[in-house]
Amino acid sequence: MKKIEFVYREMLFNAIEKEQKNLTQSYLARALGISLSTVNLALQPLSRMNAIKIKKMGFDIVDVRKVLYHWASMRNVEKDIIHQTRVEEPVAAIEKQMPDDVVFTAFSAYKFKFKDVPADYSEVYVYGDDNIRKRFRENKENPNLFVIKKDSIAERYGKTATIANIFVDLWNLRQWYAKDFLKALEVKIARVLE
């Protein structure tokens, strides 16, 4: 994940999960451990498309959906996959075998966060590191476990990715049922934003 994506994730985490739409560039830089210039670079396209309104002492997120779709359109999940393999077990069993330091995303994260699933799914996506290869060895058959490179601050949001992060990851998946999860998630996000 690129550092400007850290900015979008934190902005959307504040807007959707904390219902806080007034932020400052200095807060984002400090919280994320990145430079102020990276924060400003991330905000430029959002300002141009009127998704945020820059003020003297910070900015307001005026259109959460625009920020969300902007991030979704630039996210490249496939590029960040560091391990994929086939595990000959049901997804619930695979999820239970995950090491403590992974962060669930996509279908599993939706299930854990909202306690339901809009469709059956057969793949598990997690943010993790290379150590997971020891637990789940390489298998060249049709993969059903995907490990996305975990960034240095992913765990600060908990054992599941943020709602926005789940959304953008689902947006980028090829499975036909990802669309069912996206539709259900859009409804949940809309309820929060009303």
Span 7-30, pLDDT tens digits: 999 999 999 999 999 999 999 999
Bridge partners (DSSP) of residue 148 are 81, 127
Task: Give the whole-number percent of the chain exceeding pLDDT 70.
Answer: 100
Three-state DSSP state, 160: strand
List the domain boundaries for the chain. Answer: 3-74, 77-193
Q: Whose CA is closest to 78, among 51, 53, 106, 103?
A: 106
To 5 degrees, how large is the angle CA 168–CA 173–CA 80? 75
N- to C-terminal Cα separation, the chain = 30
Domain 3-74 matching CATH 1.10.10.10: the answer reads: yes
What is the helix, strand, coil percentage profile of the chain, to 5? Answer: 50, 15, 35
Task: Please give the model's pTM, rounded to 2 decimal places.
Answer: 0.95
CA distance 67 to 139: 37
**Cα–Cα distance, 79 to 81 (Å, whole number):** 6
Tens of pLDDT, residue by residue over 142-179, are 999 999 999 989 989 999 999 999 999 999 999 999 99
pLDDT of residue 133: 87
Binning pLDDT at 50, 70 and 90, where does residue 5 land?
very high
Angle at the Cα of 161 (from 180 to 42), degrees rounded to 5?
Answer: 100
Q: Mean of the per-residue pLDDT values for the chain?
A: 95
pLDDT greater than 80 at residue 194: no
Asked if 52 contacts 62 with a C-beta cutoff of 8 angstroms, the reply is yes
Tens of pLDDT, residue by residue over 86-136, are 999 999 999 999 999 999 999 999 999 999 999 999 999 999 998 998 899
Closest CA to 144 of 180, 181, 108, 118: 108
The residue type found at 181 is F
Distance CA 141, CA 155 (A): 30
